[in-house]
Structure 1
Amino acid sequence: MIAMQYGFTLPADYDMAIIDRRIRDKGPMTDGFPKLGFKAYLTARKGELGATDNLYAPFYLWRHAEGASDFLCGPGFEAVSQSFGRPQVATWIVWHGDVAPDVAEARFATREILPLGTDVALASVRDSETACARERLDQAGVLASVAAFDPSGWRMIRFALRADAPAVSPSTRIYRVGHVSLP
């Protein structure tokens, strides 16, 4: 599995209703996309839930790398790139990804990116983060949980889709979910 996210920082005075409409109109186009675990259409609004910028930042869980490749080489990503410019796409190798049956009900997402020090045993971190990801899915309101790492920057990510807004934390970015596409 591969996790993937790209984002666009929008001007402080940007009318985020434009992005909401785009998600509403175009979001269902990725429903049923081959090899997809899920795609969460994410936004953040400056001043809400700890956000310092207006953002559009979809997050993907791919069951197979070919799905990510097909999407990035396809017309949907081309349209996004033409509208906003071609973004840098962050990718992570997934240690663990769980999705609850009612994941489409998610309204919020959290993302935490942490450095992996050179002194840590990666196998131990993987085991610990996998256990934490499984436990997160057992928490009330958590509808998806992903633990993954980026070996090019030696960082790990904790991502969750949630039914309810979590508490604001300085180390965690909170997004609103506009739509969840499923395979």
Structure 2
Amino acid sequence: MHAMQYELTLPADYDTGIIRARVARIGHLLDDWDGLGLKAYLVRERGVHGSPVSQYAPFYLWNTVEGMNRFLWGGAFQGLVDDFGRPAVRQWTGLAFEEGAVADSPAAFAVRRRQPVPDGAELAALMREAVAETERLAAEDGAVLAAAAVDPHRWELVHFSLWEHDAPKADGDLFQVLHLSAPGRARFPRGRQW
């Protein structure tokens, strides 16, 4: 499993209806993308649910590097680049994935929490804690799924979870899910990824 995200921080007065219309128009295009586990089309608005910024920030969990590369280099990503410029694309290596307590419910909200891996940390223990946190999040009421991944270049952990309501039992940045493409979600191995 590979996690990926890019963020488009929008001007404070930007009409997020433009993003909502874009996702309504093109979101279905990845509903059967080979190699994609899931893509959550995420948006947050300044002043709503405590967000300091307005952003369009899709989050991906990939089953294969080939599917991710075909998306980035095969032309699909170019449309976003043409419309908004080329954003930095963050990537993390998968640590854990769990289906949630209400896995069959539609996801309305997502929480993403990034945290640095402290210098001097015992890596195996820290990664076990990340797996345990994924399990804890997935077991919470309202959880659709939870995942954890790590960027060993920046030494950063990311926890990502989807929720059926706007009161998730997770800390981090809260996003609204506009659409969820999940062609390969059922193929994710559960639990620890090593």
Is contact 1:42–1:59 with CA below 8 Å preserved after alignment?
yes
Cα deviation code 1:102-130 (max 9, x no counterpart): 26x10100011111012111111111111
Structure 2 residue aligned with 1:139? 140
Cα deviation code 1:81-138 (max 9, x no counterpart): 00000110000011012245426x1010001111101211111111111122022111
My pick for the range that moved more, 130-139 or 76-85, is 130-139
Structure 1 residue aligned with 2:10? 10
Is contact 1:2–1:61 with CA below 8 Å preserved after alignment?
yes
The correspondence of residues 27-106 of structure 1 with structure 2, limited to 5 A, is 27-100=27-100, 101-102=103-104, 105-106=106-107
Query: Take 1:149 and 1:35, find their aligned partners in 2: how far apart are those partners?
Result: 20
My pick for the range that moved more, 132-141 or 34-43, is 132-141
Query: Take 2:94 and 2:172, find their aligned partners in 1: how far apart are those partners?
Result: 19
* DSSP-derived class of the 1:55 partner: strand
My pick for the range that moved more, 135-144 or 2-11, is 135-144
Compute the displacement of 1:65 (Å).
1.3
Classify 1:168/1:141 alpha carbon distance in 2 versus 1 (closer, same or farther; 3 Å).
closer
Aligned amino acid, residue 125 of structure 2: S
Structure 2 residue aligned with 1:124? 125
* TM-score (structure 1 length as normaliser): 0.94
Compute the displacement of 1:4 (Å).
0.3
Is contact 1:50–1:168 with CA below 8 Å preserved after alignment?
no
Structure 2 residue aligned with 1:158? 159
Aligned amino acid, residue 67 of structure 1: G
Classify 1:99/1:30 alpha carbon distance in 2 versus 1 (closer, same or farther; 3 Å).
farther
Aligned pair count reads 181
Query: Take 1:144 and 1:86, find their aligned partners in 2: how far apart are those partners?
Result: 29
Structure 2 residue aligned with 1:108? 109
Compute the displacement of 1:168 (Å).
9.8
Aligned amino acid, residue 138 of structure 1: A
Compute the displacement of 1:167 (Å).
6.1
Aligned amino acid, residue 165 of structure 1: D
Is contact 2:143–2:168 with CA below 8 Å preserved after alignment?
no
Classify 1:128/1:43 alpha carbon distance in 2 versus 1 (closer, same or farther; 3 Å).
same
Is contact 2:148–2:158 with CA below 8 Å preserved after alignment?
yes
Compute the displacement of 1:67 (Å).
1.3
Is contact 1:168–1:174 with CA below 8 Å preserved after alignment?
no
Query: Take 1:168 and 1:134, find their aligned partners in 2: how far apart are those partners?
Result: 13
